[in-house]
Amino acid sequence: MMLLKSLRSSGSFRSVLLLRFAGSVRNASKFDYDLVVLGGGSGGLACAKEAVEYGARVLCLDYVKPTPAGTKWGVGGTCVNVGCIPKKLMHQASLLGEAVHEAVAYGWNVNDRDIKPDWKKLVKVVQNHIKSVNWVTRVDLRDKKVEYVNSIGSFVNPHTIKYKTKQGELKQLTAQYVVIAVGGRPRYPPIKGAIELGITSDDIFSYEKEPGRTLVVGAGYVGLECACFLKGLGYDPTVMVRSIVLRGFDRQMSEFLAAMMTERGIHFLNTTIPMGVERTPEGKLLVQYRNTTTQTDGSDVFDTVLWAIGRKGLIEDLNLGAAGVQTYNDKVIVDHTEATSVPHIFAVGDIIYGRPELTPVAILSGRLLARRLFAGSTQLMDYTDVATTVFTPLEYSCVGMSEEMAIERLGADNIEVFHGYYKPTEFFIPQKSFRHCYLKAVAEVSGDQKILGLHYIGPVAGEVIQGFAAALKSGLTVKTLLNTVGIHPTTAEEFTRLSITKRSGVDPTPASCCS
Ligand code: FAD
Ligand code: NDP
């Protein structure tokens, strides 16, 4: 027990579990595999790689169907190929364009004032990076002895999976446990021309043509992020918003974000839905739309139409009926242990109904599941207080409750909202707008004032909030926050200076940076 404790505290808990359970896993199984993972994305790969650590025999099936525009990619799933990674690289590319102009203000001699991005070159370097990650992923799977098959898997019965080999041969195998980690793909609206003429985030990061004037339909994460990097790269995006921007997020912060985007020249078509797309004789895209508030129709011409209207779960090929797995709205229903309606079949990642669609969520839940299945662990995934970031030029990051959620759950009288605008030091010389640099802490009103939610709009928001997310999970209070010495001059330190409450009505605009 002492040894277990010391190994646990020295971070070697995994080694102990491995020793205790590796042998038993191998001996017990009467199936071809201890675990078959359907889907080689963030969640599936994390689960498969963790399971082999404990001696499990694991096979992972992963297959990507090309998009209607013909885009396809390799192993690793959405995040690596058409999600977080290419998005972050394009976000960075767009921030660098802004930084070049700031550099001039800081005294750099930049000779070519007509600085322009080269879209084709950007796409090429981004795609090269992705291919290198695909390659590393395959090598990693081989080294770790996870069997990887590039094919679509589907159920024959609850313990049997079938797939086709590259040569077209139909194979079947049995598994003690099956993990469904098939993720999702972008939706297309059911209107004329949507599939034939529009693209999605699955296409944009490898799009050979310059996007030009782009209509981005949808105002969730994908829509806002794509519109922002396109703007930063010199294109002209318009965001079509069906109801509100960033539904589900803190309203005040979301509206700030939209205002920041407007300030940067991104257009919004509010309360508007697309009605149809057709190609003009000049080769452009004519989009018909309807404003649902005024009930008026309109149209405009674009070079590119990008659907960012959410994602559907990829259950279509799984033949879940043969396994008896219950679904809801193309997602798989699971309990608190990620078990489906069939006890030995689990699901992780985006395919789960009602859980955050984020890579770190998929990875951690996949790892924890493997430990529970093969290493005797009992630790469950905690889906609360998951931090997230919207990668717009001033990023928005948050963890915990929105102001609205706190009011709904605790009542307005029982919460206190501390807030403030701030002026990043580095913004002064290039005279960047800090109108939307704002942060707030939503806290309980009484006692040490436990913090329920933190929200921040500003530079590198994700980097700022990540550490605070750990603090919040550890029971951070306003008292602790205000007793924390800041790191000066940073923007993150603004959280340690939050002394003005909304209730007080005091103007939260700072007089200077250092008081
Ligand atoms: P996926 O990564 O989608 O992997 C599932 C895999 O299974 C796919 O390869 C799929 O083709 C395959 N598959 C499907 N059906 C079958 C079958 N029957 N047999 C075999 N294989 C099958 N998250 C963040 O945390 N941060 C971000 O910044 C971020 N940015 C994003 C940007 C964009 C544009 C998008 C679209 C998403 C972004 N996400 C981000 C979300 C993140 O990518 C997903 O949450 C994550 O990839 C989900 O992982 P997963 O394992 O559940 O599924
Ligand atoms: P979201 O569900 O976040 O947003 C979809 C948007 O499309 C909403 O604004 C919605 O409006 C709108 N919409 C839906 N249907 C229609 C329609 N028929 N016509 C017009 N508009 C429509 O989906 P996303 O695709 O933006 O993102 C999917 C998931 O991927 C996110 O939930 C997130 O978890 C993950 N992701 C994470 C990122 C990150 O961590 N930075 C980045 C990108 C994605 P309404 O509000 O009215 O329903």
Which tens digit of pLDDT belongs to each residue from 22-79?
Answer: 444 444 569 999 999 999 999 999 999 999 999 999 999 999 999 999 999 999 999 9
**Cβ count within 10 A of residue 511:** 8
The closest residue, in CA terms, to atom 46 on ligand 2 is 247
Confidence category of residue 263, pLDDT binned at 50, 70, 90? very high
Instruction: Give residue 233 CA to ligand 2 midpoint distance, Å.
Output: 22
Domains parsed from the chain with CATH numbers: 33-186+312-375 (3.50.50.60), 187-309 (3.50.50.60), 388-499 (3.30.390.30)
The model's confidence at residue 379, banded by pLDDT at 50, 70 and 90, is: very high
- In this prediction, residue 13 carries a pLDDT of 41
Tell me the ipTM for this assembly.
Answer: 0.98
pLDDT exceeds 90 at position 513 = no
Average pLDDT over every residue of 140-168? 97
DSSP H helix total and E strand total for the chain = 15, 24
What pLDDT does 218 receive? 98
Question: Which CB contacts under 8 angstroms, 24+ apart, belong to 99-108?
Answer: 101/430, 102/429, 102/430, 102/432, 105/429, 105/430, 105/431, 106/429, 106/430
Q: pLDDT value at position 465?
A: 98
The packing angle between helices 84-105 and 221-232, to 10°, is: 40
Query: Where does ligand 2 bind, in terms of residues with CB under 6 Å?
Result: 189, 217-223, 225, 242-243, 247, 273, 308-311, 356-358, 388-391
Mean pLDDT (the chain) is: 94
Task: Report the C-alpha gap between 250 and 254 in whole angstroms.
Answer: 6
179 alpha carbon to ligand 1 midpoint, in Å? 15
Question: Is 305 in contact with 280 (CB distance < 8 Å)?
Answer: no
| Segment 193-197 mean pLDDT | 98
pLDDT value, residue 28: 55
Q: What is the pLDDT of residue 389?
A: 98
* Ligand 2 centroid, distance to 296 Cα (angstroms): 24
Ligand 2 binding pocket mutation candidate from 224, 242, 269 (most atoms within 8 A of CB): 242
Instruction: Report pLDDT for 515.
Output: 61
Q: What pTM did the predictor assign? A: 0.94
What mean pLDDT do residues 266-280 have? Answer: 98
**% of the chain residues with pLDDT over 70:** 93
User: Does the pLDDT at position 17 exceed 90?
Assistant: no
Share of the chain above pLDDT 90, in %: 92
pLDDT, residue 501, reads 97
Tens of pLDDT along 162-188?
Answer: 999 999 999 999 999 999 999 999 999
Confidence of residue 112 (pLDDT cuts 50, 70, 90): low
Q: Residue 441's closest CA among 413, 399, 483?
A: 399
- Please, are residues 149 and 317 in contact by the beta-carbon 8 Å criterion? no
Look up residue 423 and give its DSSP letter. Answer: -
Give every CB contact of residue 99 below 8 A, 6+ residues apart in sequence.
Answer: none
Task: Print burial letters for 40-67: b (CB count within 10 Å at least 16), e (below 16).
Answer: bbbbbbbbbbbbbbbbbbbbbbbbbeeb
